[in-house]
Amino acid sequence: MQVKVLTVIGARPQFVKAGALSRAFEKSDRVEEIIVHTGQHFDENMSDVFFEEMNIPKPKYNLQINSLDHGAMTGRMLEGIEGIIKDEKPDLLLVYGDTNSTLAGALAAKKLHVKVAHVEAGLRSFNMEMPEEVNRILTDRISDYLFCPTDTAIDNLRDEGYDNISCAVVKSGDVMQDAAYFYAEISSEKSTIISELGLEKFCLATLHRAENTNDPEKLKCIVNALNEIHANKIPLVLPLHPRTKGKLEAFGLKLKVKTIDPVGYFDMIELIKHCDLVMTDSGGLQKEAFFFKKHCITMREQTEWVELISEGVNVLVGSDQTKIVDAVALMLNKNSDFEKDLYGNGKACENIINHILQNN
């Protein structure tokens, strides 16, 4: 019996994750997948070439909903996805992560009595001021299949009483590891960024999260730390997010590190593979550092990936200048075991598909 899956995605990282699972779906003669792009993160670079290069199936639908406040955006998405569900009549709606697209897709399906599968379920930052935290909690609560990337995610759901809720909680592993392993094989052919920039020993840094960039004092502390590290410890390479660039200018702050334009996924993989250390306030990059056996310094107060902290391969430093600088000295000289299976070792997609087919 064939299973019809409607996948809803809206942000570029979700396309990478969906690409991994979609390639696995295509190998099964029992799965028909239809992809909906809400348009949440408008990106003019997401052309046909993007999908071809990334080996990602092109969406059948693009709702082109973006640049709205949270409520308006989620409501418009809910309306659009509801219409598609009525037309396509899927057996299952699948969502990833914690965006407005994720919540809108799950809500639309649940109200029409269509099963919901949440990939990356159970993640928690325990910061309800983050819209992502609200989205992921609500999505988990109305999902039928909760595909958890880690033991910590399973524990979070158990602590919230999911043993008493009618749903399947599954430790699937992390589809980002599947994607990273797939793209790592071709990134060296597609990207020339290391030779173009003449990079040897360097630290890869990223800085974009609103909690850091919207606060002038926090941003100043981080900028001072990055400048100090670049001058005294190790050269920093920082792909500069346009919004971060605007905030730096607005607050009169100047980065004295090597800044480059934002890079694509293949270039980012090559930068991670060749760097000596990662510094970031991103969520996904913390994991990708681990996938490619790099230590990470996270410039946030919390992280969803607490297993990286407990394993000692990642350290939380917030925006404290002294902590950031001291962490670099610590992590550059640290030896760690990166062979531990924290995220499924590239088998997450296989585990997800097997569970879906066994239960539909």
- Domain of 99 in residue numbering reads as 3-174+344-358
- CB-based contacts of 260-264 (< 8 A; 24+ apart in sequence): 260/197, 263/193, 263/239, 264/45, 264/191
Residue 114 covered by a domain: yes
Q: For residues 73 and 81, what is the distance between their CA atoms, to the nearest angstrom?
A: 12
Question: Which residue carries 């991103």 as its tokens?
Answer: 282
Instruction: Clarify whether residues 290 and 194 are in a common domain.
Output: yes
Confirm whether 208 is a catalytic residue.
yes
Number of structural domains (the chain) is: 2
Least Cα distance to 38 among 86, 89, 108 occurs for: 108
DSSP state of 107: H
Q: What is the CATH number of the domain that holds 220?
A: 3.40.50.2000
Longest dimension (CA), the chain: 63
CA atoms within 13 A on the CB side of 299: 30
What are residue 77's phi and psi, to 5 degrees?
-65, -45
Instruction: Clarify whether residues 148 and 195 are in a common domain.
Output: no
Strand partners, 263: none
Residue 135 covered by a domain: yes
Alpha helices (runs of H) in 257-347, residue ranges in sequence order: 265-274, 284-291, 306-310, 321-332
Count the neighbouring beta carbons within 10 Å of the beta carbon of residue 130.
16
Instruction: Clarify whether residues 163 and 18 are in a common domain.
Output: yes
Instruction: Clarify whether residues 168 and 200 are in a common domain.
Output: no
Whole-number pLDDT of residue 194: 98
Instruction: Clarify whether residues 328 and 280 are in a common domain.
Output: yes
Whole-number pLDDT of residue 45: 59
- CB-based contacts of 310-313 (< 8 A; 24+ apart in sequence): 311/336, 311/337, 311/340, 311/342, 312/336, 313/289, 313/338
Residue 243 covered by a domain: yes
Instruction: Clarify whether residues 228 and 147 are in a common domain.
Output: no
Alpha helices (runs of H) in 131-283, residue ranges in sequence order: 131-141, 151-159, 175-190, 193-197, 210-213, 216-232, 242-251, 265-274
Residue 324 covered by a domain: yes
Residue 232 covered by a domain: yes
Whole-number pLDDT of residue 44: 60
Report yes or no: 176 and 287 within 8 Å, Cβ to Cβ: yes
Question: Which residue carries 């009483």 as its tokens?
Answer: 161
Instruction: Clarify whether residues 198 and 324 are in a common domain.
Output: yes
Residue 338 covered by a domain: no
Residue 254 covered by a domain: yes
Q: For residues 121 and 124, what is the distance between their CA atoms, to the nearest angstrom?
A: 9
Query: pTM of the full predicted structure?
Result: 0.86
Which is catalytic among the residues 113, 118, 208, 355?
Answer: 208
Local confidence pLDDT in tens for the 360 residues of the chain? 899 999 999 988 898 899 999 999 999 999 999 999 999 876 665 656 677 878 888 899 999 998 899 999 999 999 999 999 999 999 999 999 999 999 999 999 999 999 999 999 999 988 898 899 999 999 999 999 999 999 999 999 999 999 999 999 999 999 999 999 999 989 999 999 999 999 999 999 999 988 999 999 999 999 999 999 999 999 999 999 888 999 999 999 999 999 999 998 899 999 999 999 999 999 889 999 999 999 999 999 988 888 999 999 999 999 999 999 999 999 999 999 999 999 999 999 999 999 999 999
Q: What is the DSSP string of 209-220?
A: -HHHHS-HHHHH
Q: For residues 132 and 96, what is the distance between their CA atoms, to the nearest angstrom?
A: 12
SS3 158: helix
